[in-house]
Amino acid sequence: MESAGRAQAARDRVPRIDPYGFERPEDFDYAAYEEFFSTYLAILTRRAIKWSRLLKGGAGVQKSMTLKRYIRKGVPLEHRARVWMGVSGAQAQMDQNPGYYLHLLQGEKDDSLEEAIRTDMNRTFPDNVRFRKGSDPCLQRTLYNVLLAYGHHNRGVGYCQGMNFLAGYLILVTRSEEESFWLLDALVGRILPDYYSPSMLGLKTDQEVLGELVRTKLPAVAALMDSHGLLWTLVVSRWFICLFVDVLPVETVLRIWDCLFNEGSKIIFRVALTLIKQHQALILEATSIPDICEKFKEITRGSFVTECHTFMQKIFSEPGSLSRASIARLRERCRARLLAQG
Amino acid sequence: MSRKKTPKSKGGSAPATSALPATHGSQPVRPGTARPGPEAPPNRPPQPGRSSLGGGGDFYDVAFKVMLVGDSGVGKTCLLVRFKDGAFLAGTFISTVGIDFRNKVLDVDGMKVKLQIWDTAGQERFRSVTHAYYRDAHALLLLYDVTNKASFDSIQAWLTEIQEYAQHDVVLMLLGNKVDSAQERVVKREDGEKLAKVSCGWVGSQNAPGAAGPELSPPGCQRLFAGVRAAIHGDQRQDGPQCGLGFHGHSKVSPGSYREDPQTQRLNPLVGGTGHPIPWSSLPHRELKQRCMKAPSEPRFQLHDYIKREGRGASCCKP
């Protein structure tokens, strides 16, 4: 009874809609969230003071060891757009190409591109009040513009499903169409190696790379996957394509993206390996393919991922060493293998 | 954290049975405890088993793998959720990225049939990610949107993809979705029928082993077709005017067999997911069960006759 009362009290205190406009799911654990947030709030406050000091004076964001340490501990929401823009090179691109974004939107439009994007408009965050048709202001138009401009800017990629979720988050964080466009360019064009092009070779490569990393670091899980002939793409494609959007809690995703913009795509492997390692015993209970798939969904839920601050500390300790050189080597090997398979 | 312990399997109380006709060529969905013996042929039929999967304690006798394919936005996920949970939730779905799956256990005349349903992204570039899974599918549900001509025009490309990657005897159903949007409908029912006929022609007669005429489907297909067909038709009847996602279905295993299901009403209890036994006495589920118990040498399920017989009566698409 007491715990039911606490749960109800938490339900009354915690808003139904989160700070980003997402409605909390039906089964949201309000009590657990409130408990986590009371601790996290203190961290947020401390970080906010530190960041204000670091960024005072309004100078550009310069990459440094201090900045890297700060970013790993979380960028406060009010500075997030500026920091992402700075460390990803998006700001520099935007400054060097004034008027380019508007020019893209004013040019001639590709019908099939428009159609593909339009199909996903009502299917991007229907659970977010700001993206819902009829909301005021409605971010669907902004999203449409960003994706359309990007499709014309990067014709080799055009529009790939999944980019709608990336652009959606960028819009929620930056509240700026043009900045979202340049950040999307940083992600799709530079940070993620060839994930979204029609061949999706980079995506397939990285899924294989994860498989190889698991084989080295968590051989029992690799053996389980092998014994069922299960391909990694089946369980992790959404992790890679959506960069954990709609897989992990919003706050956790943003903390991951803080590091992704600063440190690059390696972070995705760190997150994936941490999730798998933490829940290795649970995964190994699986006895069939659907069972494994279910476990891989299950490991993206619960307090381990909601408690984003601890989670982010774990991604840098749990998977152990993950050098850039070894990732590059693995990518090369996996890519060659995929190409040989045709 | 909210990690849920999965109940341990209750042990294989129903070991792989030889009563199943070993004709279906695709990979079986293997329940956890029912291990195929050394004598199991490389192409095994779907195997029965008593297994607890996904933590839901859903025991089953036979399992099938079904894949939903078709262009982006034709309503694959909506169809799946309608079927799985009985809910029509148009406008609440996010675009499917990559591949996703759900289980559904149906009670068919006292026999538990588990459908393992794979939902796929429709965008063309994802095909190279998803077609690796075609080969394991017992059935493919190919959807188009009757209000979107392009999605209908793509069917041919999907068929090519299916022919290349799926098992030759896979059950294929062509489904025209969103027929409730009569005002915006651009693909005529006749066009769907015609396409089904034409594609049946090449897929059926050229590829099904032992095919001779319309009744060419091997028993595995028949069982599955019956199960999938009923399940899908049962799913799509919408109750109110606000939730009108209807469709019609065709199957390549039955050339020229176009029908709109008259049995929908009767199937509705199943859709609610109440777990009550389903009064399907006049439906092919009985045959589904029978087929599972019959030896392969017994007479074939006369699909064409069945279609004819069932084809009379009201339509699920017309209220």
Model confidence band, residue B298 (pLDDT cutoffs 50, 70, 90): very low
Of the two residues B105 and B316, the one the predictor is more confident about is B105
Which residues, in sequence order, are bridge partners of residue B102? B117
Q: Closest Cα of chain B to A95: distance in Å? A: 33
Query: What six digits make up the tokens of A221?
Result: 């899980």
pLDDT, averaged across chain A: 94
pLDDT of residue B42: 35
pLDDT, averaged across chain B: 57
Q: With beta carbons under 8 A apart, name residues in chain A contacting B95.
A: 119-120, 123-124, 161-162, 164
Query: What six digits make up the tokens of B111?
Result: 């026999």
DSSP of A183-200, one letter per residue? HHHIIIIIISSSSSSTT-
CB contact set of A302 (below 8 Å; sequence gap of 6+): B1, B2, B3
Low-confidence spans in chain A with pLDDT less than 70? 1
Q: The pTM is what?
A: 0.78
Instruction: Give CA–CA dist B135/B138, Å, rounded.
Output: 8
**CB distance B30–A246 less than 8 Å?**
no
Model confidence band, residue B226 (pLDDT cutoffs 50, 70, 90): low
Q: Which of A29, A119, A160, A295 to mutate to test the interface with B (most CBs of B within 10 A)?
A: A119
**CB distance A241–B150 less than 8 Å?**
no
pLDDT at B233 over 60: no
Which residues, in sequence order, are bridge partners of residue B172? B140
Instruction: Give CA–CA dist B220/B222, Å, rounded.
Output: 5
Nearest by CB to residue A162, choosing from B1, B3, B97, is B97
Instruction: Give CA–CA dist A91/A81, Å, rounded.
Output: 10
The residues spanned by each domain of chain B are 62-204
Which class is A93-191 in CATH? Answer: mainly alpha
pLDDT at B14 over 50: no
Nearest residue in chain B measured CA to CA from A295: B54
Q: Closest Cα of chain A to B209: distance in Å? A: 27
For the stretch A210-255, pLDDT in tens is 999 999 999 999 999 999 988 898 899 999 999 999 999 999 999 9
A49, A37, A101: which is closest to A79 by C-alpha?
A49
Any idea which fold A201-341 has? Cyclin A; domain 1 (1.10.472)
A286, A201, A291, A275: which is closest to A239 by C-alpha?
A275
Secondary structure of B258-283 as H, E, C letters: EECCCCHHHHHHHHCCCCCCCCCCCC
Out of 3.40.50.300, 3.30.450.20, 3.40.50.620, 3.30.565.10, which CATH number does the structure's domain B62-204 have? 3.40.50.300
At B27, the amino acid letter reads: Q
ipTM of the complex: 0.87
Q: What are phi and psi of B144, to 5 degrees?
A: -135, 165
At B5, the amino acid letter reads: K
**CB distance B3–A200 less than 8 Å?**
no
pLDDT of residue B310: 41
pLDDT of residue B227: 52
pLDDT at B188 over 60: yes
Instruction: Give CA–CA dist B74/B62, Å, rounded.
Output: 29
pLDDT at B269 over 80: no
CB contact set of A236 (below 8 Å; sequence gap of 6+): A207, A210, A272, A296
Of the two residues A129 and B248, the one the predictor is more confident about is A129
> Chain B: which residues have CB within 8 Å of chain A?
1-4, 6, 9, 29-33, 51, 53-55, 72-73, 91-101, 103, 116, 121, 123-126, 128-129, 132-133, 150
Model confidence band, residue B255 (pLDDT cutoffs 50, 70, 90): very low
Report which DSSP code applies to A23: B
For the stretch B26-78, pLDDT in tens is 333 333 333 333 333 333 344 444 343 333 445 778 888 899 999 999 999 98
Place of tokens 């095994």: B44
pLDDT at B282 over 70: no
For the stretch A294-334, pLDDT in tens is 999 999 999 999 999 999 999 999 999 999 999 999 999 99
Q: With beta carbons under 8 A apart, name residues in chain B contacting A231.
A: 132
Instruction: Give CA–CA dist B171/B125, Å, rounded.
Output: 24
What's the whole-number mean pLDDT along residues B233-254?
30
**CB distance A125–B94 less than 8 Å?**
yes
- B144's enclosing H/E stretch is strand B139-145
CA atoms within 13 A on the CB side of B130: 27
Indicate where chain A has its CATH 1.10.8.270 domain(s): 93-191
pLDDT at B87 over 90: no
CB contact set of B109 (below 8 Å; sequence gap of 6+): B278, B280, B285, B286, B288, B289
